[in-house]
């Protein structure tokens, strides 16, 4: 037998879920409630006690109702993931404020729009990450696993090959700033010849 399940959430402990409950109860007879108190929507669904319990509880044919789609999360990607999980289980999702209902053509169209927004958000995240990487490279910051570079070997290779700083950086897979530091590093003392060593003893 299918059930009507409601989910309510507030971000801080001094807020109440009562308004959300009233909005839902005026339109639907709810069989079971799940709630998260003082839990930010930026926290992934799997890490929210109430929502994760709901996802484990629902069965095919059930309907999940929220007062607004942002109760499921503020991150478009996470919201889409949650809705996809429910859809895969054969569960309908209804959001009162947006009129979001997966069982209707309009709801399915809104689902498509949500997917487009999630993809746009992913691309924006990638763009910000790439910008950060390029900035770090320009500033000579180490990226990923720390590389152990022998400054003397870098400087010697550059000198032996009459290479530019950029060519040396490409050869060793390091930043130009790292090459400059390697070439400026104090050089180890040269070994003295046997005759001179004996003279100093």
| Residues annotated as catalytic (active site), given as ranges | 11
Decide: 2 and 62 in contact? Cβ < 8 Å. Answer: yes
User: Is 1 exposed, middle or buried (CB count within 10 Å of its CB: 0-12, 13-18, 19+)?
Assistant: exposed
**What CA–CA distance (Å, rounded) separates 153 from 22?**
72
Cα-based distances in Å from 184 to 9, 45, 165, 176 = 58, 51, 12, 12
Structure tokens at 103: 């069982």
Cα-based distances in Å from 192 to 156, 166, 196, 200 = 19, 34, 6, 10
């Amino acid at each position: 037998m299918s059930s009507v399940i409601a989910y309510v959430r507030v971000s801080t402990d001094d807020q109440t879920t009562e308004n959300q409950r009233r909005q839902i109860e005026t339109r639907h007879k709810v069989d079971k409630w799940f709630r998260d108190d003082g839990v930010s929507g930026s926290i992934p669904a799997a890490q929210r006690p109430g929502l994760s319990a709901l996802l484990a509880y629902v069965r095919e044919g059930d309907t999940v109702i929220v007062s607004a789609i942002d109760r499921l999360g503020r991150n478009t990607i996470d919201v889409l993931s949650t809705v996809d999980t429910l859809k895969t289980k054969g569960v309908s999702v209804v959001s009162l404020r947006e009129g979001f209902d997966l069982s209707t053509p309009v709801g399915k169209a809104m689902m498509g729009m949500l997917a487009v927004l999630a993809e746009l958000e992913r691309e924006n995240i990638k763009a910000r990450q790439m910008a950060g990487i390029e900035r770090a490279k320009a500033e000579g910051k180490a990226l990923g696993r720390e590389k152990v570079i022998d400054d003397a070997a870098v400087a010697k290779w550059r000198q032996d090959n009459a290479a530019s700083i950029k060519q040396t950086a490409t050869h060793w897979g390091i930043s130009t700033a790292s090459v400059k530091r390697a070439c400026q590093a104090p050089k180890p003392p040269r070994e003295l010849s046997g005759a001179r060593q004996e003279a100093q003893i």
